[in-house]
A and B are shown apart, each in its own frame.
Chain A
């Protein structure tokens, strides 16, 4: 959550600016926000009315760019590059970083081949340098590089903006996690009860046994 703390002020800054700007200054703001090296969240800016009003205007291409950074990946950009603006190097870097975050949503072990394909990287050294310098050292992911198995094991990845329709899936995961946890707690309590019962039984048996021994001793004596 460190990353959220770091970018909270930046988000506030751009949301305030977007709310107060009009017309041609908005595209400049969008370019600035999507180039800022410390910002990885864009849905708050997207939600500002003045930004949403770019829809259908001559500047809607900037709105599409913002959407790309909020929800898209490098492959999405390549697929639609004809209808999107040319990205500057800072934007390319950020979109690739966001692509790693999106991939980290799909699984905790990311194969090098898949990463290299998604990020347009041609060799392992270049891929690992990117993951080390631009992802792990930037604080957006934490994990271990496994050269032998040619994969990146993700231990932590910052959350990306929620794509429309993803909320249901998240609610579902949370509910099943809650259910699993409840069941786990229940079964732990049952185990504890069972252990208590067994230990009671054990004690009773032990006592019966000792009584019988005493009785036998009395008989003998």
Chain B
């Protein structure tokens, strides 16, 4: 199903959820 595939493709692009340096510091 092409629409689902596009949605999954868009979803995967949101990974990783966050990757800013500031986040690394806060997370650690």
Q: A residues near B, CB below 8 A?
A: 1, 4, 8, 11, 41, 43-44, 47, 104-105, 108, 154-162, 166-167, 170, 173-174, 177
Q: How distant is A52 from chain B, measured CB to nearest CB, in Å?
A: 15
Known pairs A105-B13, A157-B13; A162 contacts B7 (CB<8 A): no
Sample of 5 A–B contacts (CB below 8 Å)? A4-B7, A158-B6, A159-B6, A159-B8, A174-B8
If over half of B's interface residues share one DSSP class (helix, strand or loop), that class is named, otherwise mixed; here it is: helix
Is the interface on chain B under 10, 10 to 19, 20 to 34, or 35 or more residues? 10 to 19
* B11 cross-chain contacts in A, Cβ below 8 A: 159
Q: A159-B9, A174-B8 are in contact. List 15 more A-B contacts (CB 8 A).
A: A4-B3, A41-B2, A105-B13, A155-B14, A157-B13, A159-B6, A160-B6, A161-B2, A161-B6, A167-B5, A170-B5, A170-B8, A170-B9, A173-B12, A173-B15
Contact status A1-B7, CB under 8 Å: yes
Known pairs A41-B2, A43-B2, A170-B12; A159 contacts B7 (CB<8 A): yes
Q: B residues near A, CB below 8 A?
A: 2-3, 5-15, 19
Among the listed A8, A154, A155, A162, which residue makes an inter-chain contact with B9, where contact means beta carbons less than 8 Å apart?
Answer: A162
Q: How distant is A3 from chain B, measured CB to nearest CB, in Å?
A: 8
User: Bound complex: CA of A88 vs CA of B14, how far in Å?
Assistant: 33
User: Bound complex: CA of A103 vs CA of B6, how far in Å?
Assistant: 15
